[in-house]
Amino acid sequence: MRTTTFIQAINEALKEEMRRDESVFLIGEDVGRYGGLFRVTRNLFEEFGEDRVIDTPISEQGFMGMATGAAIVGMRPIVELMYMDFFLVCADQIFNQAAKMHYMTGGLVNVPMVIRGQHGGGKRYGSQHSQCVESAFAQWPGIKVLAPSTPYDAKGLLVSAIRDNNPVVFIEHKMLYFTRGELPEAGEELIVPIGKADVKREGKDLTLVSFSYTLLEALEAAEELQAEYGIDVEVVDLRSIVPLDTETIYTSVEKTGRLLAVHESQSNCGIGSEIVARIYEEAPHLLKAPARRLGMAPASLPVSQKLEEELLPWKKNIKAAVLEMLQPVAA
């Protein structure tokens, strides 16, 4: 094993899959000669050329439609949205075409495409470049949604996404790009299964479910809660939002009796709401106390650093929520 960055993990997955399968190609704004806004696609143009690493005009509607058509006829496009916020520009191609084609043709047509890009706050990019978008994609049948938090999971899940015969949305948080983690040596095949959560920290007092960058904030909060109050939090990384691995969540809650679902996007209609609703519908007997969700307040992220930090439901807010749920234990 070696230590590398989240960016490098994604870059390796792209490079290795493009070498393995000539039907895989990359398309998007500045993905080629420039190497991507965050340099995720650097050096790919030099190896694979302009026919497989395609720079496009600023027209998400156009190149998302091109990729959908290419997938329908047997190619495996990887579409980069420079900011995931821009999915709204090409929503018809994603939701009414790519997501529905397999169903509408009675299974005769597959649409093996990956839509990847970064989202989230923490960099003061403002309201139109900082939104978390996973709930919007999760609402539509026919789309799988992945949001890894470590380089290992990022590489392994992206390989699985590229090989999948369905449209897969692969969400990268901008705050994760320069985080580091362990990976097998370059060239060694790494596959992480879609639809399987991972327990990143074991504990006995409360189950905290999260994903993407907020998962790292949750892990830090759990360590501080242990050191300061003796509270032992189990942290479950969803990794896959659709399909959702409720089995791993319920197994954890069976041990702890308490559930807190945390994510950066707004609490209203978020994935946390879905998780809380499902445990009340399917396994309420596992709970010793009411399950809760924690997300951002219903507001757009500002450019102001102070206001952005106030809105984001990260470590400080996570610790406060856990303490509120475990007051007798903390006392």
Asked if 279 and 252 count as a contact pair (C-beta separation under 8 A), the reply is no
Choose the catalytic residue: 129, 134, 172, 264.
129
Geometric angle at alpha carbon 147, from 253 and 299, rounded to 5°: 90
Alpha-helical segments (H) within the chain: 6-20, 44-48, 60-72, 91, 101-104, 134-138, 151-163, 212-229, 246-256, 271-282, 305-311, 315-325, 327-330
Whole-angstrom distance, CA of residue 60 vs CA of residue 103: 24
Q: What count of other Cβ atoms lies within 10 Å of the Cβ of residue 218?
A: 30
Choose the catalytic residue: 12, 16, 60, 217.
60
Asked if 35 and 42 count as a contact pair (C-beta separation under 8 A), the reply is yes
Asked if 251 and 209 count as a contact pair (C-beta separation under 8 A), the reply is no
Please classify residue 126 by burial: count the beta carbons closer than 10 Å to its beta carbon, then call 0-12 exposed, 13-18 middle and 19+ buried: middle
Nearest to residue 24, comparing CAs of 3, 54, 2? 54
Q: Compute the CA torsion angle 179, 181, 186, 187 (nearest 10 deg).
A: -110
Q: Compute the CA torsion angle 216, 164, 75, 55 (nearest 10 deg).
A: 0
Whole-angstrom distance, CA of residue 254 vs CA of residue 274: 18
Active site annotation includes 119: no
Active site annotation includes 60: yes
Q: What count of other Cβ atoms lies within 10 Å of the Cβ of residue 68?
A: 22
Residues with catalytic annotation? 60, 129
